[in-house]
Amino acid sequence: DINASAAIAGTKISPDFGSQNITTTGIVKIADGSVSAPAIAFTDDLDTGIFSVAQNTINFTTSGVERLEIGTSLTVFNDDGADVDFRIEGSGEDNLFKVDAGNDRIGIGTSSPQKLLDVRGEFAISNSNASYWDFDRDDSDGSLKIKDTGTERMRIDSSGRLLIGTTSSRSSAGIQTKLQIEG
């Protein structure tokens, strides 16, 4: 037991509280720590934990490599540039958003993106008026459909034909629809 008014230099004690909880009504102050020796670490894993590189910044490290930094104006994952992937799960999609750090790729709906941005399935580009352009690769017929607020406007079929204002080609020669280009 230590009297509440006692002042003991921190270098003089090495407390082991065992399974007891530590409770305070004040502030617990700890050193900033570093990526390889975080201020808050685990007894069996001393290079994994929490540290701070600057005021108003908190950092997380595992295996002596910084994984996450949260600051006042920016949150950075993988700041050290390590080959550490990042994934967000949805309620029905394990790879709702996937960053493949080793290959510098981002996937939406895929665990192994093949390009800088790889979107599997349908996606839309919308504006503030609830209008949107919808891009959908139809697996049943191999076509790419482009829709304006749900209405198909253009299609590239599996033979590479561009269809505008129609969903099927009238001949194998190509487009049978008038095309007007304004300048």
pLDDT of amino acid 60 = 96
Token pair for 78 = 């993988």
pLDDT of amino acid 30 = 92
58 Cβ contact list (under 8 Å, min separation 6): 50, 52, 69, 70
Give CA separation, 61 vs 28, 64, 78, in Å: 21, 6, 10
134 Cβ contact list (under 8 Å, min separation 6): 122, 123, 124, 145, 146, 147, 148, 149, 150
pLDDT of amino acid 5 = 72
Q: What is the pTM of this model?
A: 0.68
Q: What is the pairing mode between strands 40-42 and 143-148?
A: unpaired
pLDDT of amino acid 138 = 85
For the chain, give the number of residues: 183
In single-letter form, the type of residue at position 1 comes to D
CB 92: neighbour CB atoms within 10 A? 6
Tens of pLDDT, residues 49-97: 999 999 999 999 999 999 999 999 999 998 888 888 999 999 999 999 9
Tens of pLDDT, residues 15-57: 677 778 888 888 989 999 999 999 999 999 999 999 999 999 9
Tens of pLDDT, residues 119-178: 998 899 999 988 999 999 888 888 999 999 989 999 998 888 888 888 776 655 544 445
Question: What is the average per-residue pLDDT within 106-131?
Answer: 93
The residue with tokens 């900033």 is 32
98 and 116 Cβ atoms separated by less than 8 Å? no
